[in-house]
Amino acid sequence: MTSMLNYAHMMHNYSPANTEYKSPQMTPVSVVGARGYSGIELCKLLLKHPFVQLQNAFATGDFKLSDQVLDTKAATVQCFNDQELMQNLTDVVFLATPAEVSLKLAPQIIEQGKTVIDLSGAFRLKKNDYQKWYGFMHTAPDYAREADYGLLPFCGPIKPATRLISNPGCYASAVSLALIPLLQNDLIHTEGLVIDAKSGTTGAGKKASENLLFSEVTEECLPYRVGKHQHTPEIQEVIATVTGVEIEPHFTTSLLAAKRGIIAGVYANAKTTDIGEIENAYRKSFDGYPLVRHGRDVSRYARLANVVNTPFTHVSYELVGNKLYVFSCIDNLLKGAASQAVENLNRLLDLPAGYSLVQEV
């Protein structure tokens, strides 16, 4: 895709009050899976993006986006059955679909000269066995190998030939943002690493399921896929790619009696007893990136209420002797899906990562 704006120019000059930067053209985009939890959140964000025209929305069956999204511009979006996708392609297509669906659709869309941002896990793994972790044979391994893994702020600029961006998973985003600064600065031992992550029920999607009924979930915190969660190899791969460190953590996931939000606890033996070194590592890693807030105030930064319905990641930490406790909180539907997808769209458009997501970037 031809860049619409010069990234360095924007980063140097952009401010919320600065109105001189106007896109020479609007970028038309579509959302497939627009009736799911992540799809709805994505549509809301795209409707507010000044350089984007949300042109088409697709779902399984007839629907109106204006029935789902209370934004007057939603009525201007053309809504189609997903069987009509290939006849209504736009420059950029977001796939907020299950992994098996994305695996089928993405190559077809890319072959038509379009760019895909995929919110599923279909193209995240470069080395691991999809049959083992996702339960299906991968039919497009070349696309998985070439896909840009878009974990902000650690993924770098978009390459000119990029056709497919794989949006990171929700748990993988929270955990990786907590671990990468520590491993980049050689501050923790990898032996004995424990990750205990908990998510709201929207992380399981909108499909009806007995184990997600209110009476099954309320007043509970239910472990699931213990040691077998599909984000396990994703976390290992991105950590190895960014830091060069191989990890074999104890990783557990649990279902919270809440609609949305993730809190990931990371517990490690530190190579330092100075909390200042931990703080400096996060400061260095996230300097210039507006969507992470971090600090020692666990009571503030580890509260889901302070991060849900925002695109931010909150990272808090405490060091007791050499025992390090880190908590990473995100909204699973935003940083864990939709808002990070918009960050990746901004990369395509040579815009700052937080453009249209926060007032100050």
The set of catalytic residues is 170
* Cβ contact 190:266 at 8 Å: no
Q: What are phi and psi of 12, to 5 degrees?
A: -80, -35
Q: Which residues pair with 351 in a beta bridge?
A: none
Mutual angle of helices 338-348 and 37-47, in 10-degree steps: 40
Tokens 């001189």 correspond to 20
Rounded CA-CA distance 226/341 in Å is 27
What is the SS3 assignment for 34? coil
Q: Closest Cα to residue 98, out of 82, 81, 121, 115?
A: 121
Rounded CA-CA distance 317/301 in Å is 9
Task: Determine the length of the chain.
Answer: 361
What is the SS3 assignment for 227? coil
Rounded CA-CA distance 306/300 in Å is 7
Mutual angle of helices 275-286 and 170-184, in 10-degree steps: 120
